Chains A and B, each alone.
Chain A
Amino acid sequence: MRRRIRIRAVSVGVSVSLALGSLALAGCGSGSTATASGSTPEPGSSSLAVTGTITVLAAASLQEAFTTLGKQFEAAHPGTTVRLSFGASSALALQITEGAPADVFASASAANMKQVTDAQDAAQAVLFASNVMEIAVPPDNPAAISNVDDLARAGIKIALCQPQVPCGSTARQVFAKAGITVTPVTLEADVKSTLAKVQTGEVDAGVVYVTDVRAAGTKVKGIEIPSRINASTSYPIATLSHASNAGGAQAFVDYVLSADGQAVLTADGFAKP
């Protein structure tokens, strides 16, 4: 008898911790506490009421701006919850074409958006921002880097994004314009991982977006890249064909393109597309 009770207590403990775990998981990256309402309108249904949960997949470089945008959107549309998931645009594009349930995709490059539109997972994308590159170094700048040419010096540890990730391809455009060859020590999965390698001081420099340097505050030092050799990337946004919350998705895209939305992006250092 006693044994049975004990087993039950254990199983309750397990299910509680499982529930807590999934709650933590749901809260991860969403920046909000509410969960899905479950009764979201079907895509193409006549009612495009702005309610329920809107799942937004966004490029890692949009993390700060879209977290703010999500909160403002929720405040402007009571009853909505914006779930945000950030990652490399290339990884997110793959998730979408593999059938990840999402309503909106905000990519850091046209190429990754094209993967999604080519697969008929989104119809039309609109550009909403652009971004240029900057060199990020640890605050004490251990390798005394002062310009792009310094990145080609031997013995310097540099972190870059992988070539298929927008921050990686754009950084390579900068090197091509500057006529230098850069040999990184690591190729990171997204721009925030690259930035993290600089923040922890494990590398001497990383090439990230201007907006990432700004968002990192005093944890890294930025070294501007002159505009004649700098490269930019444009950010397209689209509602997804298989959105379970089509009304909410369109409203969120509209909000990003609105004056309020653009103000948030400008404040974080993004340029107009």
Chain B
Amino acid sequence: MSRSTSTIGSPDRRLRAPVALALPALICLAVLALPLISLLVRTPWSDLAELLSDESARTALRLSLECAAAATGLSLLFGVPLAWMLAKTDFPGRQLVRALVTLPLVLPPVVSGLALLLAFGRRGVFGRYLDQWFGIQLPFTTAGVILAETFVAMPFLIVTVEGALRSADQDLEEAATTLRASRFTIFRRITLPLIGPSLIAGSVLCFGRALGEFGATITFAGNFSGTTQTMPLAVYDALETNPDAAIALSLVLLATAVVILTALHRRWLPAVGGGL
């Protein structure tokens, strides 16, 4: 499917762009590219190894990768079933649920963090009972970081997977139904493999968003090296004390993002990757 779409856009069918379109397009490209190029230009290449071997930098990188991976895992575990519900079943308030799911995509992350604090903070609406009944306190813990990242990044996975479920071929599932396969067996043996590429694409997007999460994390989980200070928080911290270190850390995040997008584009999903 993806191969056939890529041939539609073959070079011989492409149009020559009129100036009225080419010029704004170039400006657009400049706005997007110049900051990233400047980051590369100002990178202290000679000190890079030393800056990145710093203990707190490595701690932040490790914590970031662990938390983003955990957030992606949670999103797969809980988000895929919800995506399935949204795509395949009809229940009252489905549109409302869908709107709710996409809300974190457009909500300023600091607002997400505040909402999380009001819900799961030590004196939050639900958090007080977590504390009283189970002794669980989420703010200022790594679990809090994972929750914040999941809240912000899970919608990317749900939206991607729901789209794939809607457009996936129904014939195989129907055939399986006639063979009396249970709905869960169909989901596990047929639906999941069918949407495999989208599952990967959604997970990678989710991981990337989680890795870059800042606002919700610093608002809800605080900022302390080793427990809650992820890479973006470390960049923010370093900016005031050691701008070179901030640039070096930013470079790592940029490189990670490039790797994610390239992998998405080349390996698994030309169509989705190209549509990013």
Q: Does B66 contact A (CB under 8 A)?
A: no
Within 8 A of A (CB), among B130-171: 137, 139-140
- Shortest CB-to-CB span from A207 to chain B, Å, is 15
- State the majority secondary structure of interface residues on B: loop
Q: Does B239 contact A (CB under 8 A)?
A: yes
Given contacts A186-B228, A197-B222, A200-B117, contact A88 B140 (CB under 8 A): no
Q: Does A24 contact B (CB under 8 A)?
A: no
- Shortest CB-to-CB span from B239 to chain A, Å, is 7
Assess whether B224 is in contact with A187, with CB atoms less than 8 Å apart: yes
Assess whether A88 is in contact with B240, with CB atoms less than 8 Å apart: yes
- Shortest CB-to-CB span from B223 to chain A, Å, is 5
Within 8 A of A (CB), among B68-111: none
Given contacts A91-B240, A202-B139, A202-B140, contact A184 B224 (CB under 8 A): yes
Q: Does A188 contact B (CB under 8 A)?
A: yes
Q: Does B123 contact A (CB under 8 A)?
A: yes
| Max count, chain A CB within 10 A of own CB: residue among B123, B224, B239 | B224
Q: Which residues of B contact A189 (CB under 8 A)?
A: 218, 223, 236
Q: Does A43 contact B (CB under 8 A)?
A: no
Pick the contact of B140 from A90, A162, A185, A201 — CB < 8 Å?
Answer: A185
The complex places the Cα of A108 from the Cα of B13 at a distance, in Å, of 64
Q: What 0/1 pattern do residues 166 to 184 of B give for CB contact below 8 A with A?
A: 0000000000000000000
Chain B interface bracket (under 10, 10 to 19, 20 to 34, 35 or more): 10 to 19
- Shortest CB-to-CB span from B181 to chain A, Å, is 48
Assess whether B222 is in contact with A186, with CB atoms less than 8 Å apart: yes
Which A residue sits closest to B224, measured CB to CB?
A186
- Shortest CB-to-CB span from B147 to chain A, Å, is 14
Assess whether A157 is in contact with B224, with CB atoms less than 8 Å apart: no
Q: Does B244 contact A (CB under 8 A)?
A: no
The complex places the Cα of A157 from the Cα of B227 at a distance, in Å, of 14
The complex places the Cα of A187 from the Cα of B241 at a distance, in Å, of 14
Q: What 0/1 pattern do residues 195 to 212 of A give for CB contact below 8 A with B?
A: 001001111000000000
Q: Does A56 contact B (CB under 8 A)?
A: no
Assess whether A159 is in contact with B222, with CB atoms less than 8 Å apart: yes
Q: Which residues of B contact A165 (CB under 8 A)?
A: 240
Given contacts A94-B243, A189-B218, 20 further A-B contacts (CB under 8 A): A88-B240, A94-B239, A157-B137, A157-B140, A159-B222, A162-B223, A164-B240, A165-B240, A185-B227, A186-B140, A187-B222, A187-B223, A188-B223, A200-B121, A201-B123, A202-B117, A202-B121, A202-B122, A202-B123, A202-B140
Q: Which residues of B pack against A, CB within 8 Å? A: 117, 121-123, 137, 139-140, 218, 222-224, 227-228, 236-237, 239-241, 243
Q: Which 9 A-B pairs have the closest CB atoms?
A: A186-B222, A185-B140, A201-B123, A90-B240, A164-B241, A202-B139, A186-B224, A186-B140, A187-B223
A-B contact pairs, 14 of them (CB 8 A): A162-B237, A162-B240, A165-B240, A185-B224, A185-B227, A186-B222, A186-B228, A187-B223, A187-B237, A189-B223, A189-B236, A201-B123, A202-B117, A202-B123
